[in-house]
Structure 1
Amino acid sequence: MMDTSHPAPKAGRREWIGLAVIALPCLVYAMDMTVLNLALPALSTALQPSSSQLLWIVDIYGFLVAGFLITMGTLGDRIGRRKLLLIGAAAFAAASTVAAFSDSAEMLIAMRALLGVAGATLAPSTMSLIRNMFHDEQQRQFAIGVWIAAFSLGAAIGPLVGGVLLQFFWWGSVFLVAVPVMLLLLLVGPSLLPEYRDPHAGRVDAASVALSLASVLVTIYGLKQIAEHGLAWLPVLLVLAGVVVGWLFVRRQGRLAYPLLDLTLFRRATFSAAIAAYALSCLAMFGVYIFVTQYLQLVLGLSPLAAGLATVPSALAFVAGSLFAPRIAQRVTGASLLVWGLAGAAVGFGLITLAGTGAGLALVVVGMVVMSLGMAPVFTIGNEMIITAAPPERAGAASAISETSSEFSGALGIAVFGSLGTVFYRTGLASAMPPGVPAEAAATAMTTLGGAVAAAESVPGSVGQALLGASRAAFVDALQFNAAAGALIVVAASVVAAAILRKGATADVAAAKAS
Structure 2
Amino acid sequence: MDEHDEMPRAGRREWAAMAILALPCLLYSMDLTVLNLAVPELAADLDPTPAQLLWMVDIYGFILAAALIPMGVFGDRVGRRRLLLWGAFAFGVASLLAAFASSAPMMIAARALMGIAAATLAPSTLSMVRNLFPHPEDRSKAIGVWIASFSAGGAVGPLVGGVLLEYFWWGSVFLINLPVMALLLVLGPKMLPEARDGTAPRPDMASAFGLLVAVLGLVYAIKKVAMDGWSGEAGLALSLSIVATALFLRRQRRLTVPFLDLDMFASPRFSAALTINIFGFFVAFGMFLLVALYFQLGLGLTELQAGLASAPSGVAFIAGSLAAPAIAARIGTVPLMALGFVVAAAGFALAGAAAASGDLMLMISAYCLFSLGLAPVFTMTTDIIVGSVPASHAGAAAGLSEASTELGGAFGIAVLGSLLTMLYQLALADYPQLADLPMSAALGPDSSGAHLETAREALGQALETTAYLCSAIAVCGAALTLIIRKRDGLLTETQGT
Aligned to 1:235: 234
1:212 aligned residue:
211
Deviation track 1:20-72 (CA, whole Å, cap 9, x = no partner) reads 11101110111111122222222223222222222111111111111111100
When residues 73 and 269 of structure 1 are mapped into structure 2, their CA distance, relative to the original with a 3 A threshold, is: same
1:502 maps to 486
Q: Matched residues in 2 for 1:42 and 1:348: separation?
A: 35
Look up the SS of the partner of 1:502 in the other structure: helix
> Which residue pairs with 1:264 in the alignment?
263
Asked if structure 1 preserves the Cα contact closer than 8 Å seen for 2:356 and 2:460, the reply is no
SS at match of 1:203: coil
- What is the rounded CA distance, in whole Å, between the counterparts of 1:381 and 1:158 in structure 2? 25
Question: What's 1:194 paired with?
Answer: 193
Q: State the match for 2:99 in structure 1.
A: 100
Change (3 A) 1:15 1:173: same
- Quick check: 298-307 or 177-186, which moved more? 298-307
1:476 aligns with 2:444: no
Alpha carbons of structure 1 residues 207 and 471: separation in structure 2 relative to 1, 3 Å: same
Counterpart mapping for 1:263-412 below 5 A = 263-358=262-357, 360-412=359-411
- Tell me the distance in 1 between the aligned counterparts of 2:409 and 2:384: 21
Aligned to 1:26: 25
**Where does residue 446 of structure 1 map in the other structure?**
436
How far apart are the structure 2 equivalents of 1:376 and 1:254? 37
Give per-residue Cα distances to partners, 1:414-472, cap 9 Å, x unaligned: 11111122122212211x32xxxxxxxx34533443232359948xxxxx61x434333
Give 1:197 deviation, angstroms. Answer: 0.8
1:91 Cα deviation from its structure 2 partner:
0.9
Q: AA paired with 1:123?
A: A
Per the TM alignment, residue 507 of structure 1 is displaced from its structure 2 partner at its CA by: 9.6
Aligned partners of 2:490, 2:52: CA distance in 1, in Å?
54
**Equivalent residue for 2:472?**
488
SS in 2 for 1:353: helix
Give, as a single letter, the amino acid of the residue that structure 2 aligns with 1:322: S
Counterparts of 1:44 and 1:118 in 2: how far apart (Å)? 24
Alpha-carbon distance in 1 for matches of 2:490, 2:444: 59
Structure 2 length-normalised TM: 0.93
The separation in 2 between residues aligned to 1:470 and 1:170, in whole angstroms, is: 36
Counterpart of 1:422 in structure 2 is: 421
| Paired residue type of 1:481 | T
Between 497-506 and 485-494, the greater mean CA deviation after superposition: 497-506
After superposition, give the CA deviation of every residue in 1:257-307 in whole Å (9 maximum; x if it has no partner). 333333222221221221111111111112222222222222222232222
Partner of 1:184: 183
Alpha-carbon distance change, 142 to 413 in structure 1, aligned in 2, over 3 angstroms: same
List per-residue Cα deviations over 1:97-132 (Å, max 9, x = no partner): 222222222222111111111100000000000010
What residue in structure 2 maps to residue 3 of structure 1? 3
Report if the CA contact (8 A) 2:297-2:444 is conserved. no
Instruction: Give the Å deviation of 1:73.
Output: 0.3
Matched, 1:160 2:159: yes
- What is the CA distance between 1:155 and its match in structure 2? 1.2
* Bigger shift: residues 331-340 or 37-46: 37-46
Given the superposition, is the C-alpha separation of residues 404 and 242 from structure 1 closer, same or farther in structure 2, using an over 3 Å criterion? same
CA contact (8 A) 1:456 1:468 kept: no
Determine helix, strand or coil for the equivalent of 2:353.
coil
- 1:240, distance to aligned residue in structure 2 (A): 4.2
What amino acid is aligned across from residue 124 of structure 1 in structure 2? P
Partner of 2:55: 56
Greater shift in the superposed pair: 298-307 or 412-421: 298-307
What letter matches 2:130 in structure 1? R
Query: Could you tell me whether the CA contact under 8 Å between 1:124 and 1:396 is conserved in 2?
Result: yes
- SS of 2:331's partner is coil
Seen in structure 2, the aligned counterparts of structure 1 residues 72 and 454 have a Cα distance that, compared at 3 Å, is closer
In 2, Cα distance between equivalents of 1:390 and 1:329: 20
Distance 1:485 1:105 in 2: 39
Q: Per-residue displacement from partner, 1:367-415 (whole Å, max 9, x unpaired)? A: 2111111111111111111100011100110010010011111111111
Tell which structure's C-alpha radius of gyration is larger. 1
Please give the alpha-carbon distance, in whole angstroms, between the structure 2 residues aligned to 1:59 and 1:21. 28
Aligned residues: 493
- Relative distance call for 1:455 and 1:131 in structure 2 (3 A) is closer
Q: State the Cα deviation string for residues 323-354 of structure 1 (Å, max 9, x = none).
A: 11111122121122122212221111121121
CA contact (8 A) 1:274 1:382 kept: yes
CA RMSD of aligned residues (A): 2.3
- In 1, the alpha carbon distance for the partners of 2:175 and 2:274 equals 34
Compared CA separation, residues 127 and 179, structure 1 to 2 (3 A): same
Q: Which moved more, 1:324-333 or 1:354-363?
A: 354-363
**Do 2:441 and 2:447's aligned partners in 1 also have CA atoms closer than 8 Å?**
no
1:438 corresponds to: none
Amino acid at match of 2:201: G
Indicate conservation of the 8 Å contact 1:203/1:258, yes or no: no
**Alignment-mate amino acid for residue 446 of structure 1:** D
Amino acid at match of 2:391: P
**Partners of 1:507 and 1:93 in 2: how far apart?**
44
Following the alignment from structure 1 to structure 2, what is the Cα–Cα distance between the partners of residues 136 and 455? 54
Deviations 1:238-266 (A, max 9, x none): 23442443344334334433333332222
Question: Aligned with 1:381: secondary structure?
Answer: helix
- TM-score under structure 1 length normalisation: 0.90
State the distance in 2 between where 1:90 and 1:109 align.
Answer: 19
In the alignment, which residue of structure 1 is the partner of 2:222? 223
Stretch of structure 1 that moved more, 128-137 or 481-490: 481-490
Distance 1:331 1:393 in 2: 30
- Deviation of 1:203 after TM superposition, in Å, equals 2.7
Question: 1:166 Cα shift?
Answer: 2.3
The answer to whether the 8 A contact 2:33-2:154 is kept is yes
Q: How far apart are the structure 1 equivalents of 2:211 and 2:63?
A: 11
Q: Distance in 2 between matches of 1:507 and 1:296?
A: 41
Amino acid at match of 1:488: A
User: Percent of aligned positions with the same letter in both sequences?
Assistant: 47
Output the CA distance in 1 between the equivalents of 2:97 and 2:262: 39
Task: Give the letter aligned to residue 482 of structure 2.
Answer: A
Distance 1:349 1:187, change over 3 A: same
Alpha carbons 1:286, 1:413 under 8 Å: kept: yes
Paired residue type of 2:3: D
Gapped regions of structure 1 (runs ≥ 5): 434-441, 459-463, 510-515
